Amino acid sequence: MQACDLVDWFFDWHKLALQGFHLSYPKKQEPGLSGFAKGNAASYPCFAMDHELLIIATLCFFLAMVRTGLAVRAGNYRPAGFNFFVIALGFLFQTAFLSVRGHALGRCPITNLFEVFIFLAWSVSLIYLLVGPAYRLSLMGAFTAPLVFALQTFALVAPIDRTHPLKHGPAPWLEFHASVSLIAYGAFALAFVAGLMYLVQERQLKRHEISSMFYHFPPLTDLFAAITRLLWLGFVLLTLGIAAGFFTGQPLPYVKVAWSSGVWVFYAAILLARHLGTTAPRRIAALCVVAFSAALALLWGITFLSQTSSL
């Protein structure tokens, strides 16, 4: 099941809710002939509602971030179910947004930089909700919420939600390639978060500056194990995503392939250093921070090339 199919299945019931707002879905269009593809976004009244859903989702992550900040400042931080609940609630609204936008487009909602950033934020939330409880990393939500909030706030504020001519209709391999690659970035984002947690905890230990949050950090060995698992998850997904790009039946944008391959090689080198034992855990954590920061910067260029070629 593709990631876009998961969004579709998970929130299919939203059609009934939309009927209450007198919104309707367009009939299935011929490939490449949808109103949005021709730049007529106004022909889809649900576009107004999808931004409302996204704003609500962003506020959920803002609440988690504010609660953590106030607790840390007061020196009485305690992990609680509130953060997990509001992040899960934000994830539901993110899913609703992607479902509404995807139905309006008639394809996976990753046709411009705005949608790519929201899909990435959704991927980060998804992997956190799966990984956090599984590895007892409840504190990771305190670091994940600001990242998702920043991604979505940037997407909402920046003038990047623009229509682009879509040269091709929905293509399963192309959508699989793009969506799986973005979920891989979500795993790398969580490795970035775990890396930050590792560096913060180690810094507090070295400087003997113990905060109330410190006592809720997982042991460094557990954090390092989580970093390794997240790196492997992202690496496998990115490999699948890149491989799927060769089956789209469309000319390959070589600059985009080169950039994607560069990200793949960077993470492959980190994993190799990790398993050869030639690099200290602290440096692996720092490399995760650097690698994701670089990958996020490259994402802009990769998305721009996608808009001018395939999607």
Q: What is the pLDDT at residue 201?
A: 86
pLDDT digit string (tens) for 23-54? 333 334 444 434 444 443 434 445 556 788 99
Q: What is the 3-state secondary structure (H, E, C) of 146-161?
A: HHHHHHHHHHHHCCCC
Output the average pLDDT for the chain.
78
- Judged against a pLDDT cut of 80, whether residue 243 lies above it is answered with yes
The alpha-helical segments, DSSP class H, found in the chain are 3-10, 14-19, 46-74, 81-105, 113-134, 140-157, 172-207, 220-244, 254-276, 281-307
Residue 136: helix, strand or coil by DSSP?
Answer: coil
Looking at residue 44, its pLDDT comes to 47
Work out the average pLDDT over 64-90.
78
Q: Report whether pLDDT(308) > 80.
A: no
What's the pLDDT score for residue 142? 78
3 compared with 67, residue with greater pLDDT:
67
Q: Residue 148 pLDDT more than 70?
A: yes
Q: What is the mean pLDDT of residues 239-248?
A: 88
Asked if 108 and 175 count as a contact pair (C-beta separation under 8 A), the reply is: yes
Once rounded to an integer, what is the mean pLDDT over residues 94-117? 89
Residue 2: how many other CB atoms lie within 10 Å:
15
Rounded CA-CA distance 202/199 in Å is 5
